């Protein structure tokens, strides 16, 4: 039976990967992802997990090995962060366009330079358009659970797409949390065996990843895009089934005190925990504040967001990445475009917070809520603000 255990979140992820009975793991160690893959290599070496652990010399090769393994029909896992994701980036795009249901945990970390090992979401945002399903998890339990959910969704014959589970580097990966660990024996048929639709097999030769001329490329992209949009129904089904079996309910747009909220703080990942604490505090002072935790980033749940934020007057979007020379934080820009052309658009303020692991305290979220309201009361668009910038 499921047992609750105090465990480092990275190890909780490795436990989930083990319970999913993966066939192939290929990864290159990089802070702050290291504990996940170290633990998995140990499990393989000790015979606890019957899988092939492919040692490689770089993340580029790690993802390439995963593509080959997945194309041959293996359930495949990898994990990376930051520069590692950038080095692997070329093959990340290929994994999704070849429709290979690889699962990757990304321990979100800043991109150099200046050289930094601390966490933010610059790495994943630089790969925003890679065509993967993308989750952001906010605690150890969600990180553990979403490995199972990722395999169920990715390998579904209606989907066949790789899935990225994003978790805050250090702030999530390196903390010890109580996690209810799901055992392999409890999984039942939650994750059916992986049956590839197109498989590398010497007995039945075919070509995966051929060149395409202009007359095919647009159609190929449309097929990929459509698969990503259609995966949404399967994602919902996977969450519903997960709740039935394991009792925990996940949503694309997690809502906290949204019924009467006038000011909503919106973020992704672990920092929304502090936002909820700030929300409680502000509510005790009589301010109508709510919090949205965006758990699903791709496919982007625009409709859910419009619905969730329909009553809000102000939305403070908290990004942990800068889109240099752009129009604000990458998530803020998407929230704005989700509302374009619709009536009842709230005032959307963009804040860049927690870059390279800089602390974002409860008091910071109180400031964000108040500052967003202040900007909204001025009634004119404002540029994004860097939280706590010394100037």
158 touches other proteins by CB under 8 A: no
CA distance 96 to 160: 9
Among 97, 116, 255, 327, binds other proteins (CB under 8 A): 97
Using CB under 8 A, which of the segments 46-54, 102-110, 222-230, 276-284 binds other proteins? 222-230
198 touches other proteins by CB under 8 A: yes
Please report how close the Cβ of residue 158 comes to other proteins at its closest, in angstroms: 11
Q: What is the DSSP string of 349-372?
A: EEEE--GGG----HHHHHHHHHHH
Please report how close the Cβ of residue 253 comes to other proteins at its closest, in angstroms: 29
209 touches other proteins by CB under 8 A: yes
What is the CA 22 to chain-centroid distance, rounded?
A: 20
222 touches other proteins by CB under 8 A: yes
345 touches other proteins by CB under 8 A: no
What is the CA 350 to chain-centroid distance, rounded?
A: 20
112 touches other proteins by CB under 8 A: no
Using CB under 8 A, which of the segments 144-152, 206-214, 312-320, 376-384 binds other proteins? 206-214
Assign 239 to helix, strand or coil.
helix
Cβ–Cβ < 8 Å for 298, 355: no
* β-strands 3-8, 24-27 pairing: unpaired
Q: Residue 210 or residue 379: which is nearer to other proteins going by CB?
A: 210
Assign 294 to helix, strand or coil.
strand
Using CB under 8 A, which of the segments 44-52, 80-88, 98-106, 318-326 binds other proteins? 98-106
Cβ–Cβ < 8 Å for 362, 281: yes
* β-strands 347-352, 385-386 pairing: parallel
Cβ–Cβ < 8 Å for 351, 367: no
Please report how close the Cβ of residue 222 comes to other proteins at its closest, in angstroms: 4
Q: Residue 178 or residue 209: which is nearer to other proteins going by CB?
A: 209
Interface residues with other proteins (CB under 8 A) are 97-100, 160, 197-198, 205-210, 212, 215-216, 218-220, 222-223, 226
């Amino acid at each position: 039976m499921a047992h609750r255990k105090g465990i480092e979140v990275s190890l909780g992820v490795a436990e989930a990967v083990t319970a999913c009975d993966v066939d192939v793991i290929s990864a290159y160690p990089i802070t702050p992802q290291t504990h996940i893959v170290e633990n998995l290599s140990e499990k393989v070496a000790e015979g606890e997990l019957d899988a092939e652990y492919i040692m490689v010399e770089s993340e580029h090769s790690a993802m390439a090995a995963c593509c080959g393994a997945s194309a041959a029909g293996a359930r495949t896992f990898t994990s990376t962060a930051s520069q590692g994701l950038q080095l692997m980036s070329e093959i990340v795009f290929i994994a999704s366009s070849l429709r290979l249901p690889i699962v990757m945990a990304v321990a979100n970390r800043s991109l150099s330079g200046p050289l930094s090992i601390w966490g933010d979401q610059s790495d994943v945002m630089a790969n925003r358009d890679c065509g993967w399903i993308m989750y952001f998890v906010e605690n150890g339990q969600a990180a553990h659970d979403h490995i199972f959910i990722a395999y169920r969704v990715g390998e579904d014959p209606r989907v066949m797409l790789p899935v990225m589970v994003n978790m805050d580097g250090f702030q999530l990966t390196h903390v010890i949390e109580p996690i209810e660990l799901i055992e392999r024996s409890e999984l039942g048929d939650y994750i059916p065996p992986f049956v590839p639709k197109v498989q590398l097999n010497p007995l039945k030769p075919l070509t995966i990843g051929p060149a395409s001329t202009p007359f095919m490329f647009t159609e190929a992209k449309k097929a990929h895009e459509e698969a990503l949009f259609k995966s949404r129904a399967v994602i919902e089904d996977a969450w519903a089934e997960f709740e039935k079996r394991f009792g925990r309910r996940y949503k694309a747009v997690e809502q906290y005190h949204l019924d009467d909220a006038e000011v909503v703080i919106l973020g992704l990942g672990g920092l929304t925990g502090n936002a909820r604490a700030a929300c409680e505090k502000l509510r005790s002072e009589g301010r109508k504040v709510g919090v949205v935790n965006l758990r699903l980033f791709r496919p982007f749940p625009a409709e859910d967001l419009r619905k969730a934020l329909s009553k809000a007057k102000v939305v403070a979007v908290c990004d942990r990445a800068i889109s240099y020379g752009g129009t604000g934080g990458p998530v803020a820009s998407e929230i704005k475009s989700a509302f374009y052309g619709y009536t009842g658009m709230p005032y959307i303020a963009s804040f860049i917070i927690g870059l390279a692991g800089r602390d974002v305290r409860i008091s910071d979220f109180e400031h964000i809520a108040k500052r967003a309201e202040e900007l909204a009361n001025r009634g004119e668009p404002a540029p994004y603000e860097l939280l706590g910038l010394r100037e």
